[in-house]
Structure 1
Amino acid sequence: MTKGFAFIDLFAGIGGLRQAMEGIGGRCVFTSEWDKFARQTYEANYKDNRPINGDIQCIDAADVPEHNVLCAGFPCQPFSLAGVSKKNALGRAHGFLDETQGTLFFDVVRILKHHRPEAFLLENVKNLRSHDKGKTFKVIMGSLEELGYTVKSEIIDAQHFLPQHRQRIVLAGFLKDTGFDFVDLELPQKGSSKLSAILHPEDGSEEPEYPFTLGDIGLVNPKYTLSNHLWQYLQDYKEKHAKAGNGFGCSVFGPGDVARTLSARYHKDGSEILIDQGAGKNPRRLTPRECARLMGYSDDFRIPVSDTQAYRQFGNSVAVPVFKEVARIMAPHIAANIDAKETLAG
């Protein structure tokens, strides 16, 4: 593998894709993240001696450093598919680049177009493929292929690596087709990891971490236990929808289970993943440290923000082990693309 290749981290969040690329020898040369609290967590965990850039929409592509790989967990906004005839009448281009204007994906495209890095790694929600009857995904793929990239996509469930059902679409693209294929992924059996692997043991085998755990044996802070009022509300809400034939409502899990998807709304009531605390005790939310573990972050990952912001950040993050595996199979193809470019330049 070519060591020390340069990559950029767009819509960086708290750096999950960065961890994947650094794991195969990459060096981050540019970061963009608009949320000030996410930037706070990013700065606490990655020491770059350079500022984190804000909103990518305000940054000229020429001001982004040269790089070999572009990484982006771009948000999915509605795509405009206005008719070609209307654009012709306005004297506007009607290629895929124009069709993505007004969306944040447009910023990925314009930077790819300007710099033409050898490869990219993109992440989004599973439903990107079916959004607007597949039209959105068609525009995205067309935009990337029009720039000359060979693009492969795959939906991967984090449940292969973590005790969480979390399906996300991954797009990997290369300027030179070197045979990259997601079939090379090595995925552990789904469900092999259980919540016991990420829950605080509360038995003294783990160092207490205030404010998440307290006392000599690291008991979970009582503040994460649901109040009687909230627990009753969630049960009533679930029962109401069950009678209507809907599957909405809270979910309670034990150490031997695999959780639902952790979402950015977890800070509101924690209803999608509640932890059973035994008879006579209300269930509790996951602590932010447990959320970090559920997303594949190591225990030395710093959490310098409030619980509300931490829940949002981990709910919006990529599942780190998934993308470390994707990066692993991308590595030889990144190297081959860099070598091909250097040969042509020479």
Structure 2
Amino acid sequence: MYSEKLKYYEFFAGVGMARAGLGGDWQCLFANDSDQLKRQSYSDNWAGEAFDSRDVAEVETTDLDGVADLAWASFPCQDLSQAGSKAGIGEADGTSVTRSGAVWPFLRIIRGLAEEGRHPALLALENVVGLLSANSGNDFRSLCGALNEIGYRFGAIVADASHFVPQSRPRVFIVAIRREVSIPAALRTELPQSPWHPQTLLRAHAGLSVEDMAAWVWWSPGAPPPQKDFELEDIVDLSDDADWNSEEATQRLIGMMSELQLNRLAAAKAEARLMIGSLYLRMRPNGDDRNVQRAEIAFGATLGCLRTPKGGASRPRIIVVEGERVRTRLLTVAEAARLMGLEEDFVLPETYHECFRLIGDGVVPAVVRFLADRLLEPLAKHAKEGVFTTINGRKLA
């Protein structure tokens, strides 16, 4: 049984939330992100670790030491999210450049490693679910085609962080494995499985070419963990000492609600018990060719997805209803950290905007740990233990 630490490269590392999820059984050989704020926060949390702060387009294979078992890439989502520009990932040749198009330089590096015979056994690409439908599915098809061309089989799952933390945060994870590595039967399935393969993924898969469908794998991470009965009261500070909006400011937000949202508020009041919900400001059509800012609310077992202000989303707010009493305010930094499942000692910037810019771009560590336990680690160890050679015929195990 393979017992040494598994090794990985972490591209678009942010503050290292993927690293936090992978945990101590993994050794990071290379971490990269060109954002200065993220670089500083990464250094605050992972002191003494080497960090490459160049743009990924400047990184060469010679900058990557050794042979990694995994390359992780949570590439930028701003051009793929509902709150972003929806410009997509652009073109692989750089003729159409977008922020989310940083995935192409990453794949160029993987292709270069393949030419040297030392590309990782596994790749994990993470992004918003909008990746599956961006540009009528062309972006997803382009990525799959590139992975196939480099020499990987691949598949995707959609995992919602709400299984692990009290936040609705669905994300798509593309997991790719070198073509010459066999896949244990327990880790794949012949048919799509709920909840990992929703209709959005099935539609994206149906649009693949015949060649790319032949390289597709329906990954099977097994049953999701039991849905937790989260207590939002443990996440949100309900004391009167919290920085609540004035009554006037709260009424102004209520005045921005549509009839549908006002009905939701009335239903929450009628519950005659403590109700904690999310409140967002959104630009919506007004029926006369104009968009107006609306306040939208939602109540449930989880709060809404935390987003980066850079992507165009409004600042996350909460609404607390107790009978006729209605309170509103911005979500705090500490509350956001708890919604991401971060440890109490995880270091985040003190300023509100900077904190949410980092968190909004992050991946929930508990989801990474789940995928590592159910897929990445079994696959990586299987690759190590099996007859696994590079394209140059040199054994890696």
Structure 2 counterparts to residues 262-341 of structure 1, below 5 A: 262-265=306-309, 272-276=316-320, 278=322, 280=325, 282-329=327-374, 330-339=376-385, 340-341=387-388
Structure number with the higher helix fraction is 1
* Deviates most, 190-199 or 56-65: 190-199
Structure 2 counterparts to residues 120-199 of structure 1, below 5 A: 120-175=123-178, 176-179=181-184, 180-181=187-188, 182-190=219-227, 192-199=229-236
Offset, 1:101? 7.4
Offset, 1:117? 1.0
The 1:21/1:114 distance shift into structure 2, 3 A limit, reads: farther
Q: Find the aligned partners of 1:296 and 1:100 in 2 and give their Cα distance.
A: 39
Specify the alignment match of 2:216 in structure 1. none
Structure 2 counterparts to residues 206-225 of structure 1, below 5 A: 221-222=242-243, 225=244
Structure number with the higher strand fraction is 2
Q: Find the aligned partners of 2:51 and 2:224 in 1 and give their Cα distance.
A: 36
Q: Find the aligned partners of 1:236 and 1:267 in 2 and give their Cα distance.
A: 26
Amino acid at match of 1:56: V
Q: Are 2:303 and 1:259 aligned?
A: yes
Contact 2:333 2:352 in 1 (8 A): yes
Amino acid at match of 1:336: H
Contact 1:128 1:136 in 2 (8 A): yes
Paired residue secondary structure (1:345): coil
What TM-score, normalized to structure 1? 0.78
Specify the alignment match of 2:202 in structure 1. none
Offset, 1:109? 0.5
Offset, 1:315? 1.6
Offset, 1:266? 9.5
Structure 2 counterparts to residues 30-109 of structure 1, below 5 A: 30-66=30-66, 67-76=68-77, 77=79, 78-80=88-90, 98=93, 102=97, 103-109=101-107
Contact 2:32 2:51 in 1 (8 A): no
Aligned pair count reads 310
Q: Find the aligned partners of 1:299 and 1:28 in 2 and give their Cα distance.
A: 23
Q: Find the aligned partners of 1:40 and 1:270 in 2 and give their Cα distance.
A: 25
The 1:292/1:80 distance shift into structure 2, 3 A limit, reads: closer
Q: Find the aligned partners of 2:94 and 2:310 in 1 and give their Cα distance.
A: 34
Amino acid at match of 1:177: S
Paired residue secondary structure (2:328): coil
Specify the alignment match of 1:250 in structure 2. 296
Amino acid at match of 2:71: L
Paired residue secondary structure (1:112): helix
Q: Are 2:15 and 1:14 aligned?
A: yes
Q: Find the aligned partners of 2:138 and 2:13 in 1 and give their Cα distance.
A: 26
Paired residue secondary structure (1:8): strand
Deviation digits for residues 299-321 of structure 1, max 9, x if unmatched?
Answer: 12122341211112112211221
* Deviates most, 37-46 or 258-267: 258-267
Q: Are 2:391 and 1:345 aligned?
A: no
Paired residue secondary structure (1:249): strand
Paired residue secondary structure (1:156): strand
Contact 1:70 1:117 in 2 (8 A): yes
Between the two proteins, what is the percent identity of the paired residues? 24
Q: Find the aligned partners of 1:143 and 1:338 in 2 and give their Cα distance.
A: 25
Deviation digits for residues 3-39 of structure 1, max 9, x if unmatched?
Answer: 322211111111111122225x111121111221122
What TM-score, normalized to structure 2? 0.69
Deviation digits for residues 188-211 of structure 1, max 9, x if unmatched?
Answer: 244632423423476xxxxxxxxx
* Deviates most, 53-62 or 119-128: 53-62
The 1:185/1:297 distance shift into structure 2, 3 A limit, reads: farther
Amino acid at match of 2:142: V
The 1:99/1:142 distance shift into structure 2, 3 A limit, reads: farther
Offset, 1:227? 4.2
What is the aligned-residue RMSD (CA, Å)? Answer: 3.2
Amino acid at match of 1:122: L
| Structure 2 unpaired stretches of 5+ | 80-87, 114-118, 189-218, 263-285
Offset, 1:220? 5.3
